Structure 1
Amino acid sequence: MAVKLIKISVIYFVIGVLLGMYMSMTESFDFTPVHVHINLLGWMSLALAGLIYAVFPNAAETTLAKVHFWLHNISLPIMMIGLALLVSGVDSAGPAVAVGGTLMVLGIIIFAINIFKNIKQ
């Protein structure tokens, strides 16, 4: 699980950097919220989760880790596509942001439960 999280975090990092480069080149920063969320929830959060699971492999082997992985990686694209549409003026994209965000929070809570349950001194 650790390697999967680290590898997918790098994909989000590339997407976030490319989006930042696009905004810089066009001097249009409408997608700043998308850029920030991809870098924070995609790159940083998943990289840190991967490193935590590398240090504590017993937590990485759990069903909770798998559920966190899938919830995080299903919800983030839904939320980011919805957010990109929303900042582009598509008001009907709000529910996608809400659903993606709710699933993301659920995934992060599951990650937290996994950490507290399976990482011991």
Structure 2
Amino acid sequence: MDRTRFFVRVSAIYALIGSFMGSHMAGGGGSQLSAVHAHILVVGWLSLFAFAIFYKVFSIPKTSKLASFHVWSSFIGVFGLTTGMWLYNTQPIEGIETLNLIFFIVGGTILLIAFVCFAIMAFVHGKFISEE
């Protein structure tokens, strides 16, 4: 799998969703979903794009299990957090409020684990990270 291409494409989707939400909120005059909009842009677009740049700039081995775990936990965590936030804030289906909250918390926790994994990877694969 090309990690850079994957992260750039997924981040582009989040950029479109976040931009659309911002336009919709601006046009409609409501800001009820501004936290969801901000998280979609920050963790969905910016973080995933930054990870794409990281994998493009530094030669992290393609066989790294840590890098593979980072890619998938980032993807699942961003999806879970942003979707969970949206579900929690909009409550589109009556009677599943607890499930919405669990989705939100589990997604956020997986994303936190992805960021911890990224920090660990910066040290484990430190020899590949240089200005040369």
- Write the mapping of 1:36-115 to structure 2, written as runs, cut at 5 A: 36-59=38-61, 61-89=63-91, 91-92=97-98, 93-115=100-122
Residue in 2 that maps onto 1:17: 19
Conserved? CA contact 1:59–1:119, under 8 Å: no
Among 20, 35, 38, the residue aligned to 2:37 = 35
The one-letter amino acid of 2:112's match is V
User: With structure 1 as the length reference, what TM-score do the two structures score?
Assistant: 0.88
Report % sequence identity: 28
Higher helix share: 1
State which drifts further: 110-119 or 29-38: 110-119
Alpha-carbon distance in structure 1 between the residues aligned to 2:56 and 2:126: 12
Deviation at 1:67, TM superposition (A): 1.1
Deviation at 1:34, TM superposition (A): 0.8
Secondary structure of the residue aligned to 2:31 is: coil
How many residues are aligned here? 121
State which drifts further: 56-65 or 67-76: 56-65
What residue ranges of structure 1 are gaps of 5+ in the alignment? none
- Root-mean-square deviation (Å): 1.7
What residue ranges of structure 2 are gaps of 5+ in the alignment? none
Deviation at 1:88, TM superposition (A): 2.3
**Residues 59 and 15 (structure 1), Cα distance of their counterparts in 2 relative to 1, 3 Å cut:** farther
Return the index of the structure with the highest Cα Rg.
2
Task: Spell out, residue by residue over 1:44-86, the C-alpha distance to the aligned partner (whole angstroms, 9 max, x if none).
Answer: 1111111111111225552222211111111222222221122
